[in-house]
Structure formats: structure tokens, C-alpha cells
A and B are shown apart, each in its own frame.
Chain A
């Protein structure tokens, strides 16, 4: 340590040369930082920000895309549901129509069958009436023969025979006009059946 010369030196009064040395040293550092270090750091900061912002933008774009896809999917789903409902409705309507058609067909058929039954009924009644007419004739002849053959031997028997015959005739007469008048499908069948139970109904 060279104390001798320096002991009296005032530390607050620096030599001018030292100031210049300090100035130059700082100037060199300042130059390097301003020209080289700071711009590069700023560049890096800028690039980093751009990278981060780019990343955020990409993420946002992807999110938007996903959202759009979801919307599309939902729309399609709604459309499909709508379509299914429509198909169901139309199927129901068609089924209803088919049922109506079948019912109408069945009614028609049953009406046709009933009509044919009545036709046959009328025909057989006609036939029966015709047959009975013939039989009545022959019966009358037969009865007349019997009346004549038996003579007057037994009054009571004779009167009984006559009464029986007349009863038979009465019965015939009562049934004939009623059977001819009945042509209605529902009622006619009923009246017909009460009179001609055995072969009238089929």
C-alpha cells in the first residue's frame, strides 16, 4: 500500500483521468447493450408473444370449429328426429286408412253375403210356396175323397177331420202373406226364421 502520497487525498475529488476512464467503460457497455443486447431481447420477447398469441388463436379456431361441428350434429339430430316423427305420423295415418279400407271391405262383403242369403231365402220361400200350393191342391182332393169315402157314419169323426183340415188351411193362410211381405235384410231374416225354422236359415 502506498499510503504516503495518498493519505491526504480527498476521495470526493477524483482525478479527471479516472472520470474519463469510467465514461469510456460505461459508454462501451451502453453501446453493446443498445446496439446488440436489447434489440435481441426485444426480438425474443416479440417472437415469444407472437408464439403465445398464435397458440391462443389456434386454440380459439379449434374451439370454434368444434362448436360448429356440434351445432351441425345437433341440427342433423333434430332433422332426423323430425323426419322420424313424420314417418311415424304418416305410417299411423296409412294404418288408419288401411283399417278403414278393410272395414269398408268387410262391411261390403257382409252386406253382399246377407243379400245373397236373402236372395236364397226368397228363392226357397218361393219354392216352398209353390210346393205348398201344389200340396194344398192334392190335400184338398184327398180330403174330399176321404170325406166322400167315409160317408156319414161317424159325425164326430167327420167334424173333427173337417176342423183339422180347416186349421191346417188357416195356418197356411196366416203364414203365406206374412212371408211374402218380409224383404228387409235384418227384420225379414227374423220373421222368416220364426216361420220357416228348419230350411229357411242357412
Chain B
């Protein structure tokens, strides 16, 4: 994405007058200026606007959820209905239907994952924030590592230490020589690939989405400012930015759901013995 943005920027720079030139958005988008920094036990903390956005998103989601359950009633009000729908969506759709009959205890965890990712993702299109903390690799990585620990621990607890690893390494019903090929693949897939794909899928989607929006938005303002024929492309670029914002909204929900859904399938593998 960055390379294509650069390419676009180069094209535009050549066409416009050489004096100004178009500065394409770069990786710096994700490293805003540090507002304040401190260090605790040797770990440096840099508070940037993305950090603040993450906290605002998280607190807003908490406030919303608490508001929906403040006065729970059998016949839900509008607020409660929205919260309930979201929670039931994960509880019934993933915890019960994907993880399986033993999945309901994981509903709060899965719902938290979904709500957390959703709230932070939504920041990508909320005016003035307009960047998702999930486009910083740290956030998806944290979630993926938590999931990694959870599904391994749940697997060991449910099936026992040895049976859990045995079933992953030696799939039942596979011819013995095939283990030479399958065992390393399975180990790689279950313990290394899974958390990284989880993290990178979410990160890359939000990262690319942000770059896309910024490129069109900056392109529009630049094209309108050049003062020559290129200005007619300005509105098109602006329109694309708007269209892409709606597309981004879809991606926001989809990625939150996909992350939670995949965690549900991993948990399903841990809760139920391999077959």
C-alpha cells in the first residue's frame, strides 16, 4: 500500500509544478508526535494521540456497555436492545454455535474481544480521530498473544497436557510416514502461524484502510490547490475518500468479527478433542 501511495505521489508530483510537489502519506502517519513520555521500570511510554484515541475508544465502549445494562429489563429498551444484540451476536453466533456446547463460558471473553476491536476500529472513520489504534501493530499483537495463551491453556486444561499436544502433532488416521511432513506443519500452524495471522490480518486491514483514506483525502486537497487542470480530479478524489470511508466501515465490522470468529474456531479445537 505504501509503495502504491508513493507511486501515486510521484505521478502527481511530476504532473504538478515542481516547486510544491505532492507529499504522499508515509509510515509517519502512524508515528504522530509524542505528547509526553515517561518510563516505568525501564519501559518507555510515549503518549501520542493514538494512545489517547485507544483510551477514548475503550472508555466509550465501556460506557456504552454499562449504559445498556444499567437497568436490565425483560422487555429491553432501545439502548439495552442494541447492547443485547451485540452481545448475543457473539454469545450465540460464536460462543455457542462455533465453540460448541462448552463454549458459553467463553462468551464474555469473546464479546470483549469483539467490542474492543470494534471500538478501536471505529476510530478509523470517526472525525478528528480518524486513525485506528489497531493500525498500530502493538494492539492486534497484544490481542493475538492473549488469544494464543487462552486457546493453548484451555486446550491443555480440557484434554490434558500430553493428549493436547499429541493430537496436534500426530493427527489420528494419518499414515505414519506422513507425520514427517504433517507434524512440523501442524506445530508451526498451531503455535506460530495462528497468532501472527490473527494479528497481521487485523493490523494490515486497518493500516491499509487508513493509508487509503489519507491518500485520497490528501490527494483531493492537493489537487484542488494546484490551480491548473488537475483540479478537476480533486472532487473525484474527495468522492473516493467518502466512498472508501463507507468501505472502511464494512472492513471495521468485518475484521472485528473475523478476529473473534477465528478465535472461536481455535477455542473449539481446544475444547473438543481432535477428530
Q: Which residues of A contact B (CB under 8 A)?
A: 1-7, 9, 11-23, 25-26, 28-30, 32-34, 36-38, 40-41, 43-45, 47-48, 51
B72–A33 CB distance below 8 A: no
Contact with A along B26-58 (1 / 0, CB 8 A): 111111110000000001111000010011001
Chain A residues near B45 (CB, 8 Å)?
Answer: 17, 20-21
Bound: A25/B59 CA distance, A: 9
B73–A14 CB distance below 8 A: no
Bound: A81/B141 CA distance, A: 85
Query: How far is the CB of B234 from the nearest CB of chain A, in Å?
Result: 21
Given contacts A41-B69, A48-B74, contact A21 B54 (CB under 8 A): yes
Query: How far is the CB of B210 from the nearest CB of chain A, in Å?
Result: 11
28 pairs of residues in contact across A and B, judged by CB atoms under 8 Å:
A1-B32, A6-B30, A11-B30, A11-B203, A12-B137, A16-B43, A17-B45, A18-B136, A21-B45, A21-B51, A22-B54, A22-B143, A25-B55, A26-B146, A29-B58, A29-B62, A30-B108, A30-B116, A32-B66, A37-B83, A37-B87, A37-B108, A38-B111, A41-B83, A41-B88, A41-B91, A44-B84, A47-B74
Q: Main SS of chain B's interface residues?
A: helix
A26–B116 CB distance below 8 A: yes
Given contacts A21-B138, A36-B66, A51-B74, contact A29 B61 (CB under 8 A): yes
**Contact among A16, A20, A22, A33 for B112, CB-based, below 8 A:** A33
Q: Which residues of B contact A (CB under 8 A)?
A: 26-33, 43-46, 51, 54-55, 58, 61-62, 65-66, 68-69, 72-74, 76, 80, 83-84, 87-88, 91, 107-109, 111-112, 115-116, 119, 133, 136-139, 141-143, 146, 200, 203, 207
Bound: A23/B138 CA distance, A: 9
Chain B residues near A33 (CB, 8 Å)?
Answer: 65, 108, 111-112, 115
The 5 A-B residue pairs with the shortest CB-CB distance, nearest first, are A6-B31, A14-B138, A18-B138, A3-B28, A38-B108
Bound: A146/B32 CA distance, A: 188
B138–A22 CB distance below 8 A: yes
B74–A44 CB distance below 8 A: yes
Query: How far is the CB of A51 from the nearest CB of chain B, in Å?
Result: 5
Chain A residues near B26 (CB, 8 Å)?
Answer: 3, 7
Bound: A166/B200 CA distance, A: 166
Given contacts A17-B44, A21-B45, A26-B146, contact A7 B58 (CB under 8 A): no
**Contact among B27, B46, B88, B108 for A11, CB-based, below 8 A:** B27
A14–B136 CB distance below 8 A: yes
Chain B residues near A51 (CB, 8 Å)?
Answer: 74
**Contact among B84, B138, B142, B143 for A41, CB-based, below 8 A:** B84
Bound: A34/B88 CA distance, A: 14
